[in-house]
Amino acid sequence: MTDPILENLNQNQLQAVETTEGYVRVIAGAGSGKTKALTSRFAYIVDRLGINSSNILCVTFTNKAAQEMKKRVKMLIGDTYDVSLITTYHGFCVRFLREEINKIQYPKNFIILDAEDQKTILREVFNELDINSKNLTFKQALQFISKSKGNSDYLSYILANKSFEHENTENLSLKIFHKYLDKQKRNYALDFDDLIHFTVYILTTFNEVLVKWQENMHYIQVDEAQDSSDSQFELVEMLSRIHQNLFVVGDPDQTIYEWRGAKPEYLVDFDKMFPNCETIIMNQNYRSTPNILKVGNHIIKNNKIRVDKDMITERPEGVEVVHFHGKNDFEESLWVASEIKEILKTEKANYSDITILYRANHISRNIEQSLIKENVPYTIFGGVKFFERKEIKDVLSMLRLIVNGDNISFLRMFNHPSRGLGKKFMERLSYLGREQNLSLLRALEQNITDNELSKKGAAEFLDLIAELKEFAKTKSISDLDKEILERSGLAALYRKDGDENRLENIKELVSSMLLLEQENKEPVNVEEYLQEIALYTDLDTQNEHQDKVKLMTIHISKGLEFPYVFLCGFTEGVLPSALSIKERRSRAIEEERRLTYVAVTRAEKRFYITDSEGYNFTTGLNKYPSRFLFEISEEFYIRKGKLSPEILQASKVQARDSNTENKELFGVGDLVLHQVFKKGRIKAVNLDKNQYSIDFFEIGKEKPIDFNFRFLKKI
């Protein structure tokens, strides 16, 4: 008799599935069936052990991956089970906070800030501090804020019952940070960084809450564990303490979020933290042809900080990997477009079987041009997220203003479309708001007769909100949406702009709400709806079944697989990125190499690498093929397009010169010979600046010399 849960699993996967108790980790390369093992295990625990599915937490990174897991689990055990705990870290935190955030006197309809909302707050902060982008850009300010939220220390500020308004500090970034926190607090608003920190904070502060959740979480499973950050790992570890069933799977070679705090050590040193843990290794790849796998294995071997593991596969050889080198970026992308047509013709494939990956978003522009020209339908994942598009954000802000009355939405919408309410109006209103300790909306309601505030536009705005609030009491969310559009004047505004796209997008929003209403047996709760969509990414809103070529960054492609993959813009300064080259830390280059490995291992049947000559605007240098190309032995791929011996030579020299990875550094005290300054002795080795300080005897001076300087030899 066949067993849908256990059939098609190899020996190691079977072991992973059946070892349900205790601390277990799976370390295995790309495409080896880690996610498959994890979903089968979930099904096994429910179906064979009889555990309630709501006692199994299963976390991963992207919504897309979580949806995929749910789908696979449902295929195994049917859809009568609750699979809402198969989720992302953020998704879990929102769910947790909805239940527990009142412990820290926040309401359960707290709002979640996206990038646009963060900017709205910053705009206000900058206004109040009377600074502008000359002092600091929004981007810099947001980076500072995110960095300052690196751990949960800042929470004691947020939760202390005081405002930072009067805090004395001269440091501008810190001032901005404090004001930002203050405004967040006033609005009960959490940004993405906060979700996890608030969760960990509540769990560590309130023991009864911790115990309650620990008792519920009989089994915990983590996918892509190599990219867990401190607080993410802390969260799952903490929750696993009572039942002690923690299953983590990952591939250290696919760590691509170190720059954002990922610590592959949690996976690699899992056995040190839990000495009784069981480790399962898998090395058979089921995804890619041997030809593709060889390229992946070959590239990743160049990383120093790794445990060597070669993937093997039993699939037939397949076609060769192709590298195309274009004379310019136009030639590169046209070649991609024509190759896509060729694949469709010869392979009986659809457009949707094809995916184009790149390291940096800007690469898509060139590709898009050719796809349009050649009539190849495509869709981009990433870029401006659907829910952050201006028109969508407008409607959602109105919705949020109606249910929450928060300042952030107020600031965005009170004079949009224009109601003739200017800067003076706003200054007076914020003053009164602060003075009377009221939200802007409440302050306006209370002070509508105030000289500065008694404007026609202001009264109209209040009426509008009141009417919509009334409407919201009885009507569905999609109807409310339509009402908002018409009554607020937004629809008229977009119509006047003649912007079809905006209206289309809004229709899309309304129809997605309708769909949700039909799916849900109960009426949709607006607050929960808003919290949920705040976590959506573009990837989640795209229609899977459209027959279009997919374009996305490598980061987004993590965990996914596609029959035909193009990796475009395989150029020095793009992959590896200019920043990683500049940093000259071998760790940064290693992360870029892992990104390349992730890209290669997404492909099932065919894999193409492309690059082109020309000028790179980011680096200000001529473009050369990526150094990683020269790490692949030429017998492993075929080259199309003309790569002249000169370019080939120049690229190799360039790659070698900027390559610090394999260089043995000289030590303090070493005697060296410099081509011009002659003999000298190393006085210091400065790792931050990548330079030595050398005392040259002949000239009697100490000079800083770059690690990479070619004409310096040890004697």
Binding site for ligand ATP (CB under 6 A): 8-10, 13, 28, 30-36, 251, 254, 286-287, 559, 561
Which one of 32-40, 168-176, 464-472, 594-602 is the stretch in contact with Mg ion (CB under 5 A)?
A: 32-40
532 binds, among Mg ion, ligand ATP, none (CB under 5 to 8 A by kind): none
Mark whether 241 is an active-site residue: no
**Binding characters for Mg ion, 502-541, by CB under 5 A (x = yes):** ----------------------------------------
CB of 636 to Mg ion, least distance (A): 25
What is the residue whose two structure tokens read 């079809």? 500
Name the residue nearer to ligand ATP (CB basis): 13 or 120. Answer: 13
| Structure tokens that stand for 286 in this block | 């089921």
CB of 552 to ligand ATP, least distance (A): 15
CA atoms within 13 A on the CB side of 584: 16
CA-to-CA distance for 449 and 459, rounded, in angstroms? Answer: 10
The catalytic position among 287, 389, 393, 602 is: 602
286 binds, among ligand ATP, Mg ion, none (CB under 5 to 8 A by kind): ligand ATP
Which one of 27-35, 91-99, 194-202, 327-335 is the stretch in contact with Mg ion (CB under 5 A)?
A: 27-35
Mark whether 11 is an active-site residue: no
Q: Is 94 within 8 Å of 112 (Cβ atoms)?
A: yes
CB of 357 to ligand ATP, least distance (A): 13
CA-to-CA distance for 349 and 339, rounded, in angstroms? Answer: 12
Name the residue nearer to ligand ATP (CB basis): 33 or 433. Answer: 33
CB of 34 to Mg ion, least distance (A): 5
CA-to-CA distance for 439 and 111, rounded, in angstroms? Answer: 14
Q: Measuring CA to CA, how many Å separate 283 from each of 227, 310, 313, 577, 595? A: 20, 7, 8, 30, 20
CB of 559 to Mg ion, least distance (A): 4
Mark whether 571 is an active-site residue: no
Name the residue nearer to ligand ATP (CB basis): 36 or 323. Answer: 36
CA-to-CA distance for 245 and 241, rounded, in angstroms? Answer: 8
CB of 248 to Mg ion, least distance (A): 12
Longest dimension (CA), the chain: 89
What is the residue whose two structure tokens read 């007076």? 428
CA-to-CA distance for 76 and 417, rounded, in angstroms? Answer: 51
- Asked whether the bond before 576 is cis by omega within 30 degrees of 0, the reply is yes
Residue 22 annotated in ligand binding: no
Please give the backbone phi and psi of residue 469, each rounded to the nearest 5 degrees, phi first: -60, -45
- Which regions of 29-81 does DSSP assign to beta strands (E)? 56-60
- Which regions of 110-178 does DSSP assign to beta strands (E)? 111-112
Which residues neighbour 339 within 8 Å (Cβ) at sequence distance 6 or greater? 324, 566, 608
35 binds Mg ion (CB under 5 A): yes
Helices (H) and strands (E) in the chain, counts: 30, 22
251 binds, among ligand ATP, Mg ion, none (CB under 5 to 8 A by kind): ligand ATP
CA-to-CA distance for 183 and 594, rounded, in angstroms? Answer: 39
32 binds Mg ion (CB under 5 A): no
Select from 630, 632, 621, 631 the least CA-distant residue to 649.
630
The catalytic position among 39, 120, 226, 254 is: 254
CB of 537 to Mg ion, least distance (A): 18
Mark whether 34 is an active-site residue: yes
The catalytic position among 223, 227, 251, 572 is: 223
| Structure tokens that stand for 187 in this block | 């609005």
CA-to-CA distance for 183 and 192, rounded, in angstroms? Answer: 16
CB of 677 to ligand ATP, least distance (A): 50
Name the residue nearer to ligand ATP (CB basis): 42 or 164. Answer: 42
Residue 30 annotated in ligand binding: yes
Residue 33 annotated in ligand binding: yes
CB of 251 to ligand ATP, least distance (A): 5
User: How would you classify the pairing of strands 549-553 and 354-358?
Assistant: parallel
10 binds, among Mg ion, ligand ATP, none (CB under 5 to 8 A by kind): ligand ATP
Mark whether 369 is an active-site residue: no
Name the residue nearer to ligand ATP (CB basis): 150 or 563. Answer: 563
Residue 31 annotated in ligand binding: yes
| Other CB atoms within 10 Å distance of the CB of residue 382 | 15
31 binds, among Mg ion, ligand ATP, none (CB under 5 to 8 A by kind): ligand ATP
Mark whether 605 is an active-site residue: no
Name the residue nearer to Mg ion (CB basis): 64 or 419. Answer: 64
47 binds, among ligand ATP, Mg ion, none (CB under 5 to 8 A by kind): none
Residue 34 annotated in ligand binding: yes
CA-to-CA distance for 84 and 96, rounded, in angstroms? Answer: 12
Q: Is 275 within 8 Å of 253 (Cβ atoms)?
A: no
| Structure tokens that stand for 561 in this block | 């697989």
CA-to-CA distance for 421 and 453, rounded, in angstroms? Answer: 9
Element (H, E) at 66: helix 63-77
Name the residue nearer to Mg ion (CB basis): 184 or 226. Answer: 226
192 binds, among Mg ion, ligand ATP, none (CB under 5 to 8 A by kind): none
Task: Tell me the number of residues near Mg ion by CB under 5 A.
Answer: 3
The catalytic position among 224, 391, 527, 611 is: 224
Which one of 29-37, 257-265, 612-620, 629-637 is the stretch in contact with Mg ion (CB under 5 A)?
A: 29-37
Of residues 91, 264, 559, 569, which one binds Mg ion by CB under 5 A? Answer: 559
Quote the DSSP letter at residue 484: H
CA atoms within 13 A on the CB side of 123: 13
Which residues neighbour 264 within 8 Å (Cβ) at sequence distance 6 or greater? 226, 227, 250, 252, 255, 258
Residue 35 annotated in ligand binding: yes
Name the residue nearer to ligand ATP (CB basis): 588 or 598. Answer: 598
State the catalytic residues. 34-35, 223-224, 254, 602
Residues at the interface with Mg ion (CB under 5 A):
34-35, 559
Where is the binding site for ATP, in residues? 28-35
What are the binding residues? 28-35
